[in-house]
Amino acid sequence: MGEKFWLIEEDKALVESVLGAEAVQFFVWLASSNILSEFAAPAGDVGVQDGLSKVVEGSDWTYAIYWQVSTSKSGKSALIWGDGHCRDPRGTEKMDGNDYRDQRFAGGDRRKQALQKIHACFGGAEDDNVAAKLDSVSELEMFYLTSMYYAFPFDKPSTPSQAFNTSRTIWVSDPRSCSENYQSRASLAKSARIETVVFVPFKSGVVEIGSGKSLSEDPNVVQMVKTSITPNVVHPKTAPKIFGQELSLGGGK
């Protein structure tokens, strides 16, 4: 899965210029190890979309992601994409006319191409490509949509798995520490101007929330996340949504 893609230096260079070298190395490992196939998400609704939306909309938080626990046939466990909600960047910055598009989405076509390469790498069909449904891809959209292809096996150290294994919330609100905790997503998070990231553990996964502001640790926010989001048993689900638009990830996702 994806081996041929990584042999094409021009494609690899394009993706690396957008995601950063660490993210590309992570995806090479992810694709060569067939991690996303091994830890395929069950076909169903984890019941967190309304809660994730409640956490983000009308607040200082930019996005929220629910990483759900998945167990492979061999008995290994990992945190994989369960659901997410991201505030529309077009609604958070007020700029006039072409200035808005030129500044907010500078390089958007290049990011869109990179996202299409990643989608193809993991076996996605062209007609269900997330990027194809967007005119241009912003820095925030690139970070959020790329996260859909991530997985965090418990036998490979990561901040989401650390929060889950220790049952302790991890709150980071300075640029340097953010980069350390985003790890291979650090370059993407920096481009998206994320300054605060929080990982809140649940019995069945971890909720990750991020903000473009530097926010001091607040127990009330953590409690709000815990009470707003109640993962449930999976049921038949519709396509995930971003900015109110249904999108299909294709394949096992």
Q: Give me 71's structure tokens.
A: 């167990």
pLDDT of residue 235: 39
* pLDDT at res. 206: 96
Q: Rounded to two decimals, what is the model's pTM? A: 0.80
Nearest residue to 204 (alpha-carbon basis) of 41, 37, 27, 36: 41
Distances (CA, A) of 45 to 68, 162, 165: 11, 25, 24
Residue 107: per-residue pLDDT: 58
Summarize pLDDT for 57-92 with one digit per residue, the tens. Answer: 989 999 999 999 988 878 889 999 999 999 865 554
- What is the model's pLDDT at position 102? 33
CA of 211: how far to CAs of 14, 44, 171, in Å? 27, 28, 11
**What is the distance, to the nearest Å, from the Cα of residue 124 to the centroid of all Cα atoms in its chain?**
17
pLDDT tens sequence across 1-44: 444 555 577 778 888 888 888 888 888 888 777 777 777 766 56
| The predicted structure's pLDDT at residue 119 | 80
The residue with greater pLDDT, 207 or 103, is 207
Whether residue 98 has pLDDT greater than 70:
no
Placement of tokens 């006039």 in the chain: 96
Q: Is pLDDT of 246 > 90?
A: no
Q: What is the pLDDT of residue 134?
A: 67
Q: Which residue has the higher pLDDT, 105 or 74?
A: 74
Q: Which residue has the tokens 């953590």?
A: 222
Structure tokens at 27: 């995806």
Q: Which two tokens stand for residue 105?
A: 């989405």
Cβ distance 80 to 41 under 8 Å?
A: yes
Q: Per-residue pLDDT tens for 144-203?
A: 999 998 999 998 899 999 999 999 999 999 878 888 899 999 999 999 999 999 999 999
Which tokens hold the place of 60?
A: 């200082």
pLDDT band at residue 133 under the 50/70/90 scheme: low
Q: Measure the CA–CA gap between 65 and 130, rounded to whole angstroms.
A: 17
Residue 245 has what pLDDT?
A: 47
Examine the pLDDT at 111 and tell me if it is beyond 80.
yes
